[in-house]
Amino acid sequence: TCLGITVAAEITAGYLPAAMTDIVTVVYGAMLLRRDMEGLVQGLHVIALIAAVNCALQSFSLLQVLMGRPGAKYFFANECVVSVSRIKDGQPVYENVNLCSWHTVLGNLAMCSAVILEFLCARLGWKMFKSQQAAMVISSLTDLEGRSSLRSSRVGLMGEEIHAMPTTTTASFAGESAIFETRGGHPMPLAGFAPFQGQPHRMVD
């Protein structure tokens, strides 16, 4: 919002190149706000790069204004009379011209605000991007740790069942053999098996 107001001030002051530079950051930032969380995270490093480049460009433009005419001492002045030479009929003609007005004051203030805001946008966007990357790494590590612990617990349960099965089977067989050997000292068959009863069949010649 603040950078959008700065762009409007630059357009009003007639600083159109500076306004075209800053409007790129404003438009891309507005596009990011319309995305979901995943799209916002993916575009944070891009807007940080755009803001950093625009901050460098605005700083260079501001340096040119300070070093050019009328100079840094008239940076916030609404009146500055400077001698300007022109060529008229092949001869140089010097005249005094007022190069400052409220437009220049507004434009210079807007450029200073643009440099600061672009820097803050680049810094904030980069910090948010790094923070989201760290959070995603921590989340993936947590998920991986949870999956490995769940897998190890499943393996442990399966191992306990495998070890417990022979013991149960041995105990059941031992109980059945005990039943087989008891009852008057005569061996008794297991359940489900009937012994042969009756006279044996003899084969004679």
pTM above 0.85, yes or no: no
Q: Is the dihedral of CA 76, 80, 84, 88 positive or negative?
A: positive
- Which whole number is the average pLDDT over 190-195? 52
Task: Provide CB contacts within 8 A for 195, sequence distance 6+.
Answer: 189
- What does the pLDDT look like over 87-130, one tens digit per residue? 777 777 777 878 888 888 999 999 999 999 999 999 988 888 88
- Which whole number is the average pLDDT over 49-67? 91
Task: Provide CB contacts within 8 A for 31, sequence distance 6+.
Answer: 43
- What does the pLDDT look like over 30-53, one tens digit per residue? 888 888 777 777 788 888 999 999
Task: Provide CB contacts within 8 A for 110, sequence distance 6+.
Answer: 6, 9, 10, 13, 15, 18
At 146, list the tokens: 């949870």
Q: Which of 120, 137, 116 is nearest to 62 (CA)?
A: 116
The 3-state DSSP composition of the chain as helix, strand, coil percent (nearest 5) reads 70, 10, 20
At 117, list the tokens: 């805001």
